[in-house]
């Protein structure tokens, strides 16, 4: 596959530079080729087949009609999420927040795409890119900030309506040097995955080389399926910069480290020895007695496992609480809004996110990530993968597979490329 | 929803005829708006929002480049499935079939889209539209026929390569008067379904009014879930013209008619009385003793159920065999190729197909249907729906839901519209 | 089915009282009929078939052997969850909690079954019955309390080891007057559900008549699937005493009440009008501006929907936060441990729990409920149902089906039985 | 795990022989311990925990009561499937088949358990053990044969009613030396699978060593997921004696061998190159042109892949047709009843069956296998595994996992044990 990928850039450059010799044919398409999605599919086929085409960045000017001004307004507001601009431009309207934690009526709701606000005759980007926020504008500093409900203070100037706001969706490059741009959708359970996992390994290596932070979001299935040892290797080798998880992952990992079981099941013995919840509860108790995970490591009580490796290799982690939690462990942030803040504070610099075996945490983190962060979602449940990978971006891929063999193969590819350079 | 649909046609006519007063706004899009699928989404949003736009049937002329002539050839061959034509035109190449049941090398493989072959300077449509066939050309009669392996006779002239072949994909109309054109993809288990089922009821009524044949493809789950009575009503009311099923549907239906159980479960009593396979086997035996389903009805031994209604109301049916079958019933065609022929022979005139609770039969029938037949697939398993509804056409919708409540609601909507006119 | 159920009690009484005339046959079983589960299946078949059998409450005395005293200890500890008692009796061992929030080593971990502690020569029940707790014993008051981590105070006397502790598992009655005792496991998507739903309706009516509290645990799918109106009827008719849900259910319900959409989808128009997250955010903002749900109802801003009905009919509710939440609404308890406390405080008196369309909340609540509370779990995802219904009790049933038709049919059965008496 | 398993046999022998020193404790159980399944669970826990118990092969004599003789009869008929015998014994009733292919009324329907018919005062086993058959008795030869519908000839003596018929269900040994006896149910996607796969490898090696035939039933997912190379190794190493599959497996395997694609997807390149159905059709055409798979191998046209290895290593295979088939390949048996006969004829000697990635074929073969054949079912779809593994025997285990990593690990374990001896 990697060989198959190389020609694109070259071909494209040759076409751009009118270099010879190239093989070509001219084709024609007729009919509703745009709204029937035929033209995009055709261009897709050309790139997928290893070819390229002559094209220019496009421009379209469209007249939108409706039965009432309100309807046209509604349509245009939604079109903005796709980058549409109204031709007649005016500055964004601003209104004051009526109370702490409350937006003014008709506040503009952000997407996960880069968004700009027109203040005077200037376009200012709202920072950080986050969906489901309002935009607070500081007219003096000429700054725009995406704000969550809890950040709203009475009197803040908030963008309302949809005029003077421009969205620039992350677009697909035609270079296609990345596995993310190849995958139109998910890799189903019926597809071969080795080649895709090799590409993911390459992406993760590239992210590290380029200094991007690698975020892992993980559920307890990583421990249940026996994938913990592979995850530990990723940490040891420096491929995890940040871990977002819950009480369950940490507890099952520590139960495994202390007692050799996960939810009472001996990982060595398969489904054979079901101890019930006892070890689980004792693992929590042991860490509570020590005062926390870091303290348990410091005191020598916790000497292996994912959480141990995180402490040892100084990997920053956020453990967010849920109402299913037993315990919880002292590090768990039991207030969910505080947990969101803690996660959001650590996102700057993240360029790639690997989400494994957790719908709750993956969706929560997905809601915090800007569209340009590359996202890989792995789950054996196809509906989780569909939900997560379908974020309307060219930066997310989903794999329907078992987590243990996925991580085993991923670490093997990374190890191989480490030694080969 | 129906109200919401009406304005489209009017709006479109107003725009076409430049009639006033209309409300409009002009928007602009920049960047890779076609290959990033942004333009199609924008047009979609406008129609979905109840608006319309000024547009013309489009035309595109694209230069395709590759590293070798073979690569360009491969790409262009695939593009034809989307309706692309090469600008330099020449007649289709033909080669003789080397033996009965064997195509010549490089034979052109059809899709489920209307396909034309250039013979001399004439374009001839290959009939009937069927995927995974070759195209046999009769040079004297100027006819082209899609042929399956078993239909190939030594010496037949078969289209090879990809020149001189044109595909005209079924395109989405912008009228959007149909539920099929609204549904970009599937209706997941988490979406409300009543409105969609109402539209499907309207489509089925429309199909009957316009004289199209209504095909139902059904698995035994229709009986297991207790939906048999609703299905019977559809037959009684004349909304089923053709039934494709297997031994299992007929056997469980007859078991239910004779013994009140389905796979040993009393439908009245839920999961309470599991009789095992006995009634199932006795039902088969009773019909075999009578000489067949039609004979059992004629002799008064079978007096209710889906198969009884089919016989009574002269609904044509094909029961195709599978290796899971017990018995089978005398009407079952145990040779799968013969069963395919029997189904294919009955397809002309079918304009709508309702597939419920069977992956095997639904895929088999889906492979036989031309793309313009409207297809509704209902299953509680999302992966079945995904597989079936994803046929690359704007004519297929899938619903992830329980079959019994689906059919109950469908018959209620049809009954209501019957009485209201 | 209901007719089919009546004879059991009579038959049993006749057998107990040696009344004539009865039809009977004597059967024999040989071999490993107990550990191969053959005897239980045989007794099950007899009851399922409408018969009864002569039997006595049984007694077994078993010698357990192991390779080491530790192994025997481990085995016996697990056997206690099934009600096994060691013949040699001694009082429970108690140890002091070493710190607030920390149990002593080897603390006994409770199940969801009634559990007794031997203090002196007295057996005291640990209250309330809750799994994954320790047992704190008050030697003066002769009381035993199940305590969560956060309830532990330094110096509390906590039961350790497994001597002097007796579990009395909830047993299946042979009366079988209840649907819960009929359902060995789940009702799969392929089974007829009407009869089961009728029985569930009868159970819910019985619970209310007998003065038990009816708890509903619900996810937002109730609103997405269009089932909100049915749920509202249950509330109006007095069949909901307590609602446990999250920010999502309340927000989508309020979005639906204020804007007619759920996650931007018009329920009337199916999947047609996807407004994105805007209405969702505006719904939250409107309630925050009002000061809360109850305030919004009081001020006339919220006049329909599930939450409105809860306020109007004084149904107590707990909204627990999760890290996916937008907003949240003012009533949401964002600290998950506080949310657990709030739910646990409302459980006394609950005799039946209906869990619909939420894995997170259902598991969380399942962990708080004693085994004797009858639990019904409804979800279209079979893995959720399996996880929840498989609680090792004869009091839980699961239905794999769509929530909207389930609730529609449930309310129809309840309405019918209301009018018929 | 293997260590954990060894003590059972020794412990059991020690207990049987009253050898010392052993550690033991005596426990008591009260209440409805049998029909509430408490006693079986307790014994299960003891064995699972590595202990053993003193027990005897059990015996139970139960009085069954009903409201009518018919009801008692119905119940007793079902109880026979579990091995129950009526105390009053009489020979089996026989009736003549009224016509070819038709059983007499009330014919006894077999299960997949060993079944004996009383002829005179002799118990004769019906051969071969197959479910959903009638039993034809040859009074002169004193033989009983299980017969399918198509085998019935007019005048055959067929067992009717339920007297004089005895079923001896396969029982669970308490030795527990086998993974099949450990697995009460399925291994879900959330459990670690390495240990179980190691045990399956050991079972397969044991089966071969003991001279049993190893049957593999496989769907095309083995090829799609890229597991073909592992499967080929199993064949090369002599671990496959018999292959039951369909046209799809063979076609995709041959497509992969000839073109490097599976359903148009290059296995090397992941989901990148979707060629559509062309290669698939050309693969079929190439084999049809050669005259068949064996001929294509003989002529040197097919030089790798699963089917090639089967031909090379003389592995017998049955390819059964389905109505979804394209082509089909010449070896495919298109008549489903003929295909059933072909499979049934090859079953004698099979002791272990590995079913992967096919619901249709797995259920079809499952219906033909006697209960004592050990069955392993692997699929990523939990509902397939549930359906197949739930055959009411202690001889079936199911794994919810991806097929490629499963087969990769299985071959690694087999390779490791080969070299280690």
Q: How far apart are the first and last CA of chain C?
A: 19
pLDDT of residue A421: 55
Q: pLDDT: is A276 or D331 the higher one? A: D331
Reported as a pLDDT band with limits 50, 70 and 90, residue B86 is low
Q: pLDDT: is D100 or A66 the higher one? A: D100
Q: Helix, strand, coil shares of chain B as percentages rounded to 5? A: 40, 25, 40
pLDDT of residue C273: 43
Q: pLDDT: is A393 or D419 the higher one? A: D419
| A 248-287 residues with CB < 8 A to D | 262, 265-274
Reported as a pLDDT band with limits 50, 70 and 90, residue B395 is confident
Would you say residue D255 has pLDDT above 90? yes
pLDDT of residue D21: 46
Helix (H, G, I), strand (E, B), or coil: what is residue C273? coil
Residue C90 near chain D (CB below 8 Å): no
Asked whether the beta carbons of residue B41 and residue A82 sit closer than 8 angstroms, the reply is yes
Residues of B in contact with A61 (CB under 8 A): 26-29
Give the tens place of pLDDT for each residue, A212-227: 999 999 999 999 888 9
Reported as a pLDDT band with limits 50, 70 and 90, residue B188 is low
> Which residues pair with residue A355 across a beta bridge?
A217, A377
Of C11, C45, C82, the CB nearest to D41: C82
Residues of B in contact with D98 (CB under 8 A): 289
Shortest alpha-carbon distance between residue A264 and chain B (Å): 32
Would you say residue C272 has pLDDT above 50? no
Of C52, C85, C383, the CB nearest to D27: C85
- State how far the alpha carbon of B394 is from the alpha carbons of B109, B181, B182, B377, in Å: 22, 6, 9, 13
Q: Which residue in B has a C-alpha nearest to residue A48's C-alpha?
A: B75
Q: How far apart are CA D67 and CA D86, in angstroms?
A: 18
Residue D400 near chain A (CB below 8 Å): yes
Of D276, D360, D363, the CB nearest to B81: D276
Residue A383 near chain C (CB below 8 Å): yes
Cβ(D167)–Cβ(D114) below 8 Å: yes
Q: How far apart are CA B330 and CA B327, in angstroms?
A: 8
pLDDT of residue D36: 60
Give the tens place of pLDDT for each residue, C174-192: 444 556 654 444 566 666 7
Alpha helix segments (H runs only) across B172-327: 179-182, 194-209, 221-224, 228-236, 247-259, 278-290, 293-298, 306-312
Give the tens place of pLDDT for each residue, B276-335: 568 889 999 999 999 999 999 999 999 999 999 999 999 999 999 999 999 999 999 999
Angle at CA B225, nearest 5°, toward B223 and B228?
40
Give the tens place of pLDDT for each residue, C334-378: 999 999 999 999 999 999 999 999 888 998 998 899 988 989 999
Residues of B in contact with C1 (CB under 8 A): 266, 268-270, 272
pLDDT of residue C193: 81
Residue C20 near chain D (CB below 8 Å): no
Q: How far apart are CA B267 and CA B256, in angstroms?
A: 8
pLDDT > 70 fraction of chain D, expressed in percent and rounded: 72
Enumerate residues 6+ apart whose C-beta is below 8 A from B177.
B5, B8, B9
Q: How far apart are CA D368 and CA D339, in angstroms?
A: 12
Of D38, D131, D192, B40, residue with least CA distance to A271: D192
Give me the mean pLDDT over the C144-159 stretch. Answer: 96
Q: How far apart are CA B258 and CA B67, in angstroms?
A: 68
Cβ(B251)–Cβ(B242) below 8 Å: no
Enumerate residues 6+ apart whose C-beta is below 8 A from A202.
A2, A179, A413, A417
pLDDT of residue B7: 38
Residue D41 near chain A (CB below 8 Å): no
Asked whether the beta carbons of residue A272 and residue D194 sit closer than 8 angstroms, the reply is no
Weakest mean pLDDT among A150-154, A361-365, C37-41, C331-335: C37-41
Tokens representing D344?
Answer: 């049934």
Residue C146 near chain A (CB below 8 Å): no
Reported as a pLDDT band with limits 50, 70 and 90, residue A403 is very high
Residues of A in contact with B22 (CB under 8 A): 65-66
pLDDT > 90 fraction of chain A, expressed in percent and rounded: 50
Of C4, C265, C402, the CB nearest to B405: C402
Of C194, C265, C400, the CB nearest to B191: C265
Asked whether the beta carbons of residue B24 and residue A87 sit closer than 8 angstroms, the reply is no
Q: pLDDT: is B64 or D125 the higher one? A: D125
Asked whether the beta carbons of residue A40 and residue B34 sit closer than 8 angstroms, the reply is yes
Q: Which residue in A has a C-alpha nearest to residue C150's C-alpha?
A: A327
pLDDT of residue C60: 66
pLDDT of residue D111: 87
Would you say residue D1 has pLDDT above 50? no
Shortest alpha-carbon distance between residue A276 and chain B (Å): 30
Asked whether the beta carbons of residue B78 and residue D276 sit closer than 8 angstroms, the reply is yes
Helix (H, G, I), strand (E, B), or coil: what is residue B253? helix
Mutation target among B188, B380, B403, B413 for the C interface, most CBs of C within 10 A: B380
Give me the mean pLDDT over the B368-382 stretch. Answer: 88
Cβ(A150)–Cβ(A339) below 8 Å: no
Of A188, C191, C216, C220, residue with least CA distance to B189: C220
- State how far the alpha carbon of A259 is from the alpha carbons of A256, A289, B330, in Å: 5, 16, 62
Angle at CA A202, nearest 5°, toward A200 and A203?
65
| B 46-65 residues with CB < 8 A to A | 46, 49-55, 57-65
Would you say residue A154 has pLDDT above 70? yes
Reported as a pLDDT band with limits 50, 70 and 90, residue A252 is very high
Cβ(C371)–Cβ(C391) below 8 Å: yes
Mean pLDDT (chain D) is: 82
Shortest alpha-carbon distance between residue C210 and chain B (Å): 25
Mutation target among A336, A357, A369, A388 for the C interface, most CBs of C within 10 A: A336
Q: How far apart are CA A227 and CA A253, in angstroms?
A: 10
Weakest mean pLDDT among B41-50, B53-62, D111-120: B53-62
pLDDT of residue B242: 98
Shortest alpha-carbon distance between residue B340 and chain D (Å): 6
Residue B130 near chain A (CB below 8 Å): no
Shortest alpha-carbon distance between residue D28 and chain C (Å): 5
Reported as a pLDDT band with limits 50, 70 and 90, residue A38 is low
Would you say residue D3 has pLDDT above 50? no
Chains A–C, number of C-beta pairs less than 8 Å apart: 132
Q: How far apart are CA C330 and CA C340, in angstroms?
A: 17
- State how far the alpha carbon of C135 is from the alpha carbons of A277, C116, C191, C196, in Å: 15, 10, 42, 38
Q: How far apart are CA A41 and CA A151, in angstroms?
A: 43
pLDDT > 90 fraction of chain C, expressed in percent and rounded: 50
Weakest mean pLDDT among A150-159, C364-373, D242-251: C364-373
Would you say residue A135 has pLDDT above 90? yes
> Which residues pair with residue C31 across a beta bridge?
D58
Q: Which residue in A has a C-alpha nearest to residue B35's C-alpha?
A: A40
Reported as a pLDDT band with limits 50, 70 and 90, residue D178 is low
Most confidently modeled of A114-128, B78-92, B336-350, D258-272? B336-350
- Residue B120 falls in which region: left (phi positive, over 0), alpha (psi -120 to 50) or beta: left
Q: How far apart are CA D16 and CA C92, in angstroms?
A: 33
Q: What is the pTM of this model?
A: 0.84
Shortest alpha-carbon distance between residue D268 and chain A (Å): 6
Instruction: For chain D, list the contacting chains (3+ Cβ pairs, <8 Å).
Output: A, B, C
Mean pLDDT (chain A) is: 82
pLDDT of residue A111: 87
CA-only gyration radius of chain D, Å: 25
Mean pLDDT (chain C) is: 82
Judge if the upstream peptide bond of residue B128 is cis by omega within 30 degrees of 0: yes
Q: Which residue in A has a C-alpha nearest to residue B47's C-alpha?
A: A75
Residue B121 near chain C (CB below 8 Å): no
Asked whether the beta carbons of residue B38 and residue A82 sit closer than 8 angstroms, the reply is yes
Most confidently modeled of A83-92, B30-39, C188-197, C376-385? C376-385
Asked whether the beta carbons of residue D71 and residue C23 sit closer than 8 angstroms, the reply is yes
pLDDT of residue A21: 46
Q: Which residue in B has a C-alpha nearest to residue C187's C-alpha?
A: B271
Alpha helix segments (H runs only) across D210-277: 221-224, 228-236, 247-259
pLDDT of residue D263: 63
Q: Which residue in A has a C-alpha nearest to residue D275's C-alpha?
A: A49
Q: pLDDT: is A268 or A353 the higher one? A: A353
Q: pLDDT: is B33 or B259 the higher one? A: B259
Of D132, C284, D269, D4, residue with least CA distance to A260: D4
- According to DSSP, the β-strands at C242-246 and C316-320 are parallel
Cβ(B414)–Cβ(B201) below 8 Å: yes
């Amino acid at each position: 596959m990697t060989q198959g990928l190389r020609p694109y850039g070259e071909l494209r450059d040759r076409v751009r530079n009118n270099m010879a010799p190239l093989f070509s044919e001219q084709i024609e398409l007729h009919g509703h080729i745009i709204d029937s999605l035929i033209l995009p599919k055709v261009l897709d086929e050309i790139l997928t087949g290893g070819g390229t085409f002559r094209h220019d960045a496009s421009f379209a000017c469209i007249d939108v009609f409706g039965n009432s001004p309100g309807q046209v307004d509604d349509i245009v507001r939604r079109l903005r999420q796709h980058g549409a601009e109204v031709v007649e431009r005016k500055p964004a309207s601003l209104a004051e927040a009526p109370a702490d934690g409350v937006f003014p009526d008709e506040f503009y709701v952000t997407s996960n795409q880069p968004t700009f606000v027109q203040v005077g005759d200037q376009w200012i980007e709202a920072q950080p890119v986050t969906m489901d926020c309002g935009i607070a504008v500081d007219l003096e500093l000429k700054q725009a900030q995406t704000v969550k409900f809890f950040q709203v203070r009475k009197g803040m100037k908030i963008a309302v309506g949809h005029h003077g706001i421009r969205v620039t969706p992350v677009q697909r490059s035609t270079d296609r040097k990345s596995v993310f741009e190849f995958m139109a959708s998910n890799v189903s359970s019926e597809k071969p995955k080795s080649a895709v996992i090799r590409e993911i390994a390459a992406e993760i290596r590239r992210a590290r080389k380029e200094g991007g932070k690698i975020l892992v979001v993980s559920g307890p299935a990583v421990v249940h399926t026996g994938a913990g040892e592979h995850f530990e290797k990723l940490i040891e080798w420096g491929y995890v910069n940040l871990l977002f998880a819950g009480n369950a992952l940490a507890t099952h990992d520590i139960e495994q480290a202390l007692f050799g079981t996960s939810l009472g099941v001996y990982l060595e013995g398969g489904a054979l020895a079901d101890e019930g919840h006892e070890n689980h509860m004792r693992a929590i108790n042991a860490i509570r007695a020590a005062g926390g995970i870091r303290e348990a490591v410091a005191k020598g009580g916790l000497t292996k496992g994912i959480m141990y490796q995180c402490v040892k290799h100084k990997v920053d982690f956020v453990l967010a609480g849920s109402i299913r939690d037993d315990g919880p462990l002292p590090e768990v942030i039991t207030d969910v809004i505080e947990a969101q803040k803690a996660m959001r504070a650590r996102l700057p610099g993240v360029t790639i996110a690997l989400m494994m075996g957790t719908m709750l945490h993956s969706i929560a983190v997905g809601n915090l990530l800007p569209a340009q962060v590359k996202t890989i979602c792995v789950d054996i449940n196809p509906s989780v993968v569909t939900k997560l990978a379908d974020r309307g971006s060219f930066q997310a891929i989903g794999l329907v597979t078992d987590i243990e063999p996925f991580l085993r193969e991923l670490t093997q590819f990374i190890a191989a490329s480490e030694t080969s350079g």
